[in-house]
A = this chain, B = another copy of it.
Amino acid sequence: MNRENIADAFRQLQDSICRDLESYDEKGLFRQDIWSRAEGGGGRTRLIENANLLEKGGVNFSAVHGPMPEKIAAALGLPAGEFFATGVSIVLHPFNPWAPIIHMNVRYFCMSHGAWWFGGGIDLTPHYVDAGDAAFFHRSLKEVCDRHDPEYYPRFKQWADDYFYIKHRDETRGIGGIFFDRLDGAHGHTVEERLRFVLDVGYAFAPLYIELLGRHRDRPYGKREKLWQDIRRGRYVEFNLVYDKGTKFGLDTAGRTESILMSLPATARWVYDFQPDDDPEAQRTLSLLRKGLDWVGHEPG
């Protein structure tokens, strides 16, 4: 198992997810941009814009390598050296405000001096929180985790709650999911075993999101719901540009800006001190954007 095998596994995952999404969103054809990086490596950015159900999004693969900027190595607590990083990164923004935004990322990182780890996760950002969806989503993630280690789900769920948190709003980005980083060789874990776990997470993505899209794709909406969607999209922008470590890392290392910022929504809106007074569903959502909610044990009403 060398780094090229891992990159190949991620490339196949990207192909598989794109196939599944395209066959579901009949109009949805990905546009592909192949790019390369002067310092080494490159990627396949697959962009979706104005499809049938999806307004904007990307399913990106990259495998890059080169000298590690010293400042970043130091921040990671690592000696200088050459790095290699490969992964699949997805953000999808649906047209219908009743359907959720979703994000998934799986990645592998290693350095010339031998350090290696996997990271990633899936999290859901509903414009309107639906308790049934949230229970389904978290139970599905728990199933994937439990197949590998019963301690994963509780740990990675809390990690997601802490990570996808908009501090200056004191609200979570959405209903969380799982987030993990630095899954390395400690306690006898092998690269093969870690890869099996992240691929399991990766292959869970398409069926999960297609189920959630299907639940809401035909639900009618109006101006009130589109406004709320744009407000929530604004919060998504705030999280990604202020807090997201992947975005920061990408912009700091002069990554490919258009591929990094494909995560941003088509539209967003900021209204001073916005209160959704005429939208009880939005009010309920606001009350549920907090850490520590147990969605697995939740009984959908």
Asked if A272 contacts B268 (CB within 8 A), the reply is no
Q: Does A267 contact B (CB under 8 A)?
A: yes
Pair B251/A242 contact, Cβ less than 8 Å: yes
CB A55 to nearest CB in B, in angstroms, measures: 11
Asked if A6 CB lies within 8 Å of chain B CBs, one says: no
CB proximity of A184 to chain B, nearest CB, Å: 29
Query: Cβ of A149 < 8 Å from any Cβ of B?
Result: no
Q: State whether A33 and B270 are in contact (beta carbons under 8 Å apart), knowing that A241-B241, A251-B167 are contacts in the complex.
A: no
Known: A241-B237, A241-B238, A241-B241. A273 touches B168 (CB 8 A): no
Cα separation A51 to B56 with both chains bound (whole Å): 31
Partner of A49, one of B242, B268, B271: B271
Give the shortest distance, in Å, between A252 (CB) and chain B (any CB). 9
Contact of A168 among B56, B257, B267 (CB under 8 A): B257
Given contacts A237-B241, A251-B242, contact A262 B266 (CB under 8 A): no
Interface size on A, residues (CB 8 A): 32
Provide the A137-173 mask, 1 if CB < 8 A to any CB of B, else 0. 0000000000000000000000000000001110000
| A261 adjacent to chain B (CB < 8 Å) | yes
Q: How far is the CA of A33 from the CA of B273 in the complex (A)?
A: 10
Q: Which residues of B contact A31 (CB under 8 A)?
A: 272
Instruction: State the copy count for this chain.
Output: 2
Cα A126 to Cα B299 in complex, Å, equals: 53
Bound form: Cα–Cα A254–B266 in Å = 29
Q: Are A273 and B258 in contact (CB under 8 A)?
A: yes
Given contacts A169-B257, A241-B241, A242-B251, contact A234 B264 (CB under 8 A): yes
Residues of chain B within 8 A (CB-CB) of A266 are 269-271
**A47 close to chain B: CB less than 8 A:** yes
Contacts of A260 in B (CB 8 A): 168
Contact B272 A47 (CB under 8 A): yes
Please name 12 further chain A to chain B contacts, defined as beta carbons within 8 Å, in addition to the given A49-B272, A238-B241, A265-B270, sorted by A numbering.
Answer: A31-B272, A47-B272, A56-B270, A168-B251, A168-B257, A234-B264, A237-B237, A261-B270, A264-B270, A266-B271, A267-B268, A268-B270
A-B contact pairs, 23 of them (CB 8 A): A31-B272, A33-B273, A56-B272, A167-B251, A168-B251, A168-B254, A168-B257, A168-B260, A234-B264, A234-B268, A237-B237, A238-B241, A238-B261, A242-B242, A242-B251, A258-B273, A265-B270, A266-B269, A266-B270, A267-B267, A267-B269, A268-B269, A268-B270
Which residues of A does B touch, CB under 8 Å?
Answer: 31, 33, 47, 49, 56, 58, 167-169, 230, 234, 237-238, 241-242, 251, 254, 257-258, 260-262, 264-273
